[in-house]
Amino acid sequence: MDNVHLDINDRSAQNSTSVSNKAKRMASSSSPSERYIDLKISIYCDDNYLLPGCTRQCIARDDAQGHYTCDYVRGLVICNQHWYGDNCTQYCRPRNDTFGHYTCDNFGTKICARNWFGPNCSTLCKNTDDVTGHYNCDSLTGNKVCLTHWYGKGCLVFCKERNSSGGHYSCNKTNGEIVCQQNWYGTRCTKYCLPQNDRFLGNFKCDANGDKICLPGWHDVNCTQGKQSGSQLERTISFPRSPGK
């Protein structure tokens, strides 16, 4: 009994028509000069498989499953123009017109031109901080994102919350309008008015401007006069006349 062994490291041929036989000797490890087997070996890929390892099948196509041709010699799948990805199913065609402003990377992903955003790079936005607007651009959508304290459609309304002698208000997050704190009134929310129903502090409510509106029956600047304001009512007492007088 004996064992013979042969290591084969030859590259595969493209197919059966391009292969040539190669002589190989499979010799005994103990007596290689006396015991051996001479062979003629052909190594090639099955039809439609790519070199060098004959592991990937490739059949050229141009349909929903892929858009490519096959280079069997170099072992490559060659995507048709404007198609990308492993199976060439990702379409991307560079453009610079009303439908989009972008190039394509090696994976078919759109790369927007400068200051263009959105799925098709069709939204124009440029970071701005001047009289025309105060905003940055969302990196995905291109929507305007107002800078701090700026509001409104074009980020042109300035509003900074405050609680001081200069005003007592917050800012509407949509349009930047001043929103007075409770019991403060006026354009800058500097007028204070707290409704009262007290004979010392007053008896009034507040109108939209923060002016005091006296409750029924009360008057004066602070609505403290009227009704029974603390003075005792005078009482008239009549006595009956004596007879004959």
At residue 10, the pLDDT reads 66
Q: State residue 4's pLDDT score.
A: 73
pTM for the predicted model, two decimal places: 0.63
What confidence category does residue 19 fall into, taking pLDDT thresholds of 50, 70 and 90?
low
Among candidates 111, 140, 112, 143, which has minimal Cα distance to 127?
Answer: 143
Single-letter code of the amino acid located at 29: S
Residues 49 and 39: beta-carbon distance below 8 Å: no
Place 230 in a pLDDT band, splitting at 50, 70 and 90: very low
Nearest Cα to 114, choosing from 96, 129, 132, 98? 96
pLDDT, position 44: 79
String of DSSP letters for 158-190: E---EEETTEEEEE-TTT--EEEPTTEETTTT-
Statement: 159-191 belongs to CATH 3.20.20.110? no
pLDDT in tens, 36-54: 787 788 777 888 898 888 8
Bigger pLDDT: 7 vs 234: 7
> Rg (Cα) of the chain, in Å, rounded?
47
Residue 18 in this model has a pLDDT that exceeds 80? no
Cα-Cα-Cα-Cα dihedral sign, residues 6, 10, 14, 17: negative
Q: For the chain, what are the domain ranges?
A: 4-41, 126-150, 159-191
How high is the mean pLDDT of the chain?
Answer: 87
What whole-number distance in Å separates Cα of residue 10 and Cα of residue 211?
100
Local confidence band at 231 (pLDDT 50, 70, 90 cut-offs): very low
DSSP state of 131: T
